Amino acid sequence: MNASSKSTIEYFNFIRFQLNRYIPITCLILGSIGHILNILVFTRPLIRTNPCSIYFVSGSIANFISLYVGLITPFLGTYNLDPTQTSNILCEIRFYLRYSTITLSTWFILLACIDRLFSTSNNVNIRLWSSIYLTKRIIILAIIICFICPYTQVFYCYTISGASCTYTNQTCKLLNEIILLICNSCLPPILMILTSILTIRNVKYSNHVGGGGYCCRRRRRDVQLIRLLFIQVFSFILFGIPITAHKIYSYSIIYMIKSPLRIAIDNLINQISIEISYICNSTIFYTYSLTSKKYRKEVFRILSLLFIRYRKIQIYPKQSIGSTRINQNKIIEKIPNESYKLNIRNRSEIL
C-alpha cells in the first residue's frame, strides 16, 4: 500500500469519526424534543380517539428508543466510552434493540396506512376493523412478534472483534441483511405505497358522497391524519433509499475480497446512509410542523398549556403562603372576640 492510499484511508476514517461525534448528538437532541411533543399532540383528548393516532404514538415511542440505542454508543465511542466495545452482552443487546425498534416503528407506519385504508372504505364491515379495541391488540401483537421472531440470531451473530462490535462471520452478515431488507427496507415500503394509493381512491370516492355535519367533521379529521401519514411515508421512503441501496450493494459483494481502501470507502458510505435514516427519525415532528397547519395549532396549544402550568407552579406557593398568613391573622383576631363573649356570658350567669 502506497502513502497516498494510507492518507486517503486516514482521511475517510477521520470523516467517519467526525460524523459520529456531531451527527448523533444533534439527532438525539432534535429527536428527543420532537418525539415527546409528538406523543403529547397525539394523546390529546380529541385526537387519541382515532386509531391512527395510537399508531403515531407507538411509532414515536419506538423511534425514541431506537434513537438512543442506535446513536448514543457511536457518540460515546468517539470519547472511548462505548460500553459495547468491551462487553459482549451489551454488544448483542444493543444491536437486538436497534434492529427491533427500527423495524417496529416501520411496522407501525404500515399498520397506520392499513388502518386508514379500512377507515375510508365504503364497506361498513371493513370500517369496523378500524377501532381502538383492535388497534391496541394489534400493537401488542406486533411488539411480541418483532421482539421474538426476526432478530434473535443477533445473540449468536454478533461479538466483539478488534475492539468493535461486529458480525462473527459472513453468513451471519448475509442473514441479517436479508432479514432487514424483508422486514424493514423493501416489503413495508411497497405495502405502504399500495395502501396509500387505495386510501386516496377511497377518499376521492367519499368526497362525492354526502353526509351530515358530524360525518363531515369526522372526515376532515381523518383527512388531516391521512395527510400526516402520507408525509411520514414519503419521508420514510425518501430517507430510506440510501441505506436500502447500500444494503443491496453490500449483499451483492459480500464474499468479495476488498482492499483496505475499498473497505474504508464502504464503511464511510454505510455510516452516511445510516445517519441519513436517523435524520429522518429525528425530524418527523419538524416535518409535521412545517407541512400541517392543524398540527402547528395543536403544538402551540400544548406549549401554551405547559407555560401556563409552569407559571402556576411559580405563583401558587407565594399565594398559598400569603393566604395562610391571612387566615392566621383572621383566627388571631377572632380569638379575643370569642373570649370576650365568654366573659360576658359568665358575668350574666353570675348576676
130-148, pLDDT tens digit by residue? 999 999 999 999 999 999 8
In which residue are the cell numbers 416489503 written?
A: 187
User: Which of 118, 117, 111, 120 minimizes the C-alpha distance to 53?
Assistant: 111
Q: What amino acid is encoded at 159 in this protein? A: T
Range of weakest confidence among 3-7, 129-133, 238-242, 295-299: 3-7
Q: Which whole number is the average pLDDT over 9-30?
A: 93
> What is the model's pLDDT at position 108?
96
Q: How far apart are CA 22 and CA 312, in angstroms?
A: 38
Closest to 178 in 3D by CA, of 168, 187, 166, 165? 187
**CA-to-CA separations, 84 to 21, 64, 164, 210, 300, in angstroms, rounded:** 17, 20, 8, 59, 40
3-class secondary structure, 166: strand
Helix axis angle for 132-148 and 88-119, nearest 10°, is 150
For residues 138 and 142, give the distance between their C-alpha atoms in angstroms, rounded to a whole number: 6
* Angle subtended at Cα 180 by Cα 250 and Cα 52, rounded to the nearest 5 degrees: 140
What pLDDT does residue 118 have? 92
Q: 126: part of which helix (H) or strand (E)? A: helix 124-127
Tell me how far apart the terminal alpha carbons of the chain are, to the nearest angstrom.
122
Average pLDDT over residues 12-28: 93
Q: Which residues of 120-156 are buried (b: 16+ CB within 10 A; e: fewer)?
A: bbeeeeeeebbeeeebeebbeebbeebbeebbeebee
The whole-angstrom separation of Cα 94 and Cα 102 is 12
Question: Which DSSP helix (H) or strand (E) runs through 35?
Answer: helix 3-42
Work out the pLDDT band at 219, boundaries 50, 70, 90: low
In sequence order, the β-bridge partners of residue 159 are: 166
Tell the residue number behind the cell numbers 436497534, with chain if given.
Answer: 98
pLDDT over threshold 80, residue 40: yes
Q: How confident is the model at residue 321 (pLDDT cuts 50, 70, 90)?
A: very low
Instruction: Return the closest-CA partner of residue 143 out of 195, 192, 92, 97.
Output: 97
Over the stretch 64-116, which tens digit does the pLDDT of each residue have? 999 999 999 989 988 989 898 888 899 999 999 999 999 999 999 999 999 99
